[in-house]
Amino acid sequence: MPILNIQLAAQDPSGNPIPSLVALQQRGPVVQVSVSVEQNIAQQLLAQGVPLPAPERGLALIDTGATSTCVDDAAAARLNLPAIDVVTIASASHASTQQNVHPIQIEVVGLPITISAPRAIAAPLAAQGLVVLIGRDVLQHCTFFYNGPAGSFSLSV
């Protein structure tokens, strides 16, 4: 079972190091990931000779408060992901909207950790510097340990 251990490191605008526990509190448990077409779809496309879009790289925030995983809507468009359903989600800034549901695959950069999220909801995450929000639909298959005092967290799949 691959285990991801991360201790956040950050600097303030003056270049001074920020303690890990402060960095984790401010940024949250984020990890570099690569997002691509879900593997069952990718295998079919490759069998048909269809070229796969290049994966999208960025930060994923592990969000234990979210029932569902989300993918940035612009990244989903660039990946040309098929929509397999529509769900309604509320927003603080505007009325409830219907958002597409996409099947995606998430790979942790630099580690042999691959996560399938067959029902990721498209949402505007890029403005937050995120490409994915990892919700409890994915976390139900993981062990997640948040060590606030150490400014670190671990995730195993």
For the CB of residue 35, give the shortest distance to other proteins in the complex, in Å: 15
Concatenating the DSSP letter of every residue in 74-103 gives HHHHHTTPPP-EEEEE--SSSS-EEEEEEE
Given a contact cutoff of 8 angstroms between Cβ atoms, the answer to whether 104 and 82 are in contact is no
Q: For residue 95, what are its two tokens?
A: 């009325």
Determine, following the binding rule CB under 8 A, whether residue 144 of this chain makes contact with other proteins.
Answer: no
Given a contact cutoff of 8 angstroms between Cβ atoms, the answer to whether 119 and 99 are in contact is no
For the CB of residue 110, give the shortest distance to other proteins in the complex, in Å: 25
Q: Which is nearer to other proteins, 14 or 48 (CB)?
A: 48
Local structure of residue 129 (DSSP, 8 states): T
Determine, following the binding rule CB under 8 A, whether residue 62 of this chain makes contact with other proteins.
Answer: no
Binding site for other proteins (CB under 8 A): 25-26, 37-38, 40-41, 43-45, 47-48, 50, 61, 63, 65-68, 70, 80-85, 87-93, 100, 103, 118, 121, 123, 125, 127-128, 130, 133, 135
